[in-house]
Amino acid sequence: MEIILKYFGDFSEKQLQQLAALEPLYRSWNEKINVISRKDIDSLYEKHVLHALGIAVINSFGAGQSVIDIGTGGGFPGIPLAIFFPDTQFHLVDATGKKIKVVEAVAEALKLDNVSTQHARVEDIRDRKFDAAVSRAVAPLATLCRWSKAVLRKKGTLFCLKGGDLHDEISGSGYRPRIYELEHYFPEPFFREKYLLSVTL
């Protein structure tokens, strides 16, 4: 939790309580359903929560906007972003039912009224459009752009968290994303070669 407060301030009391509740909630659920790697659970705030909030450093979602989290897994980046932006609606989607079960339970425990969930493949969502899409290490950039384009309003933006050497993935995608090195914002060893890509579609 301290590492979040090292880089972000100005949280309301409710947000602080929600952030503090994340670790016990995920520890409890992880014992039943493995949604976070066992070796990462001790670094939840750095490797999952702060990583997700890398998107908040670059972009501020507005009140009333809607954001889809593609392949949310255990709720990242969607849950931390929903805490950070309480006036923005987040729709967390994953094809694995047990992961969505965890996300629903966490959102309910935190009283996140701005979170909805859906057990589905994003390719099968045809009835809703969103202002932005977020994702973390779900699929290659070209695939994420294709999926996002189908569910975003015109000029909607995809924000995806990725790591490693992205040269071939970006050059082969046909897109020219803006690339942000997260180590510039969070100078911690974990964030070396961690990037946020932003593409307006």
Of 31, 27, 56, 58, residue with least CA distance to 44? 27
pLDDT tens-digit map of 83-105:
999 999 999 999 999 999 999 99
The angle that helices 13-32 and 97-109 make with each other, rounded to 10 degrees, is 150
102 is in an annotated binding site: no
Q: Does domain 2-200 have CATH number 3.40.50.720?
A: no
Q: Is 71 annotated as a binding residue?
A: yes
Instruction: Tell me if 96 is assigned to a ligand binding site.
Output: yes
The model carries a pTM of 0.96
pLDDT, tens only, 22-35:
999 999 999 998 88
- Would you list the domain boundaries of the chain? 2-200
Say how far apart CA 27 and CA 58 lie, in whole Å. Answer: 29
* 123 is an annotated ligand-binding site residue: yes
Please tell me whether residue 55 adopts helix, strand or coil conformation: helix
Residue 75 annotated as lining a ligand binding site: no
174 is in an annotated binding site: no
73 a known binding residue? no
